[in-house]
Amino acid sequence: MSLTRTALVTGASRGIGRAIAHRLASSGFSICINYFENRAGAEALLSTITDSGSDAFLAMADVSDQASVQGMFSEIRKKWGRLDVLVNNAGIYQRSPFESLDFPSWKRTLSSNLDSAFLCTAEALPLMKEQHFGRVINISSQLAFKGSRHGAHYAASKSGMIGLTRSLAIELGQFGITVNMVAPGSIRTRILGGYTEEQLSELSSQIPSRRIGEPEDVASVVAFLASDEASYVNGATVSVSGGSFLL
């Protein structure tokens, strides 16, 4: 009997994280659903996954806080004793022109989006190295490459993931661990919640595929990177943007 693979998805209570957790569960993974504030969303996802016959559990943790991350991984070790896939998805996005950006907001965004990936990966590596297998998948953004006129702090945090992903891919490939990055473009999540239909239509017209992406578009790429079929994909960045990265 084959061993059930396990996955931790950070920030899984809504949006892209929720879609990733659901897709991995559908692919046969046991899922650790990380959340911090949105317990109702996390519980709803847990019910959806377990009602379909898959295994999952909740882990409330602030992934920008080392002690909180260590507590979550203690739960993972106690429940599974292993971790096969880590999806560093958790993050925040706050609009602010640079001249209006204060240092606490800068630090909070960098901590939530980049420190969290460092902390979770640092805890996951001993488990993955012991089993000589692992998949680390970082969720970045097209703004890591393009920049943002109203989010230098967000773009900087997501750009940091590029260096982290590539460096870890070089270091960890010898241990059977791959590290890859997914860079979504415009995805229908709460980040676009304030857009009017007219604005959404205008945005869609600027994308070569002529549509805004869905969280499931990102989840399907993550599912591939988490699979055995992606064993020779390492240090890659996959753009899920409808071709907007070309413009």
Tokens of 185: 């473009």
**Positions marked active-site:** 154
| Contact status, residue 74 vs residue 130, Cβ threshold 8 Å | no
In the sheet that holds 6-9, the strands lie side by side as 56-60, 30-35, 6-9, 85-88, 134-139, 177-184, 237-240
Element holding 154 (H helix, E strand): helix 152-172
- CB under 8 Å to 98, separation ≥6 — which residues? 152
Residue 246's CB is within 10 A of a number of other CB atoms, namely 8
Q: Sort residue 55 into left (φ over 0), alpha (ψ -120 to 50) or beta.
A: beta
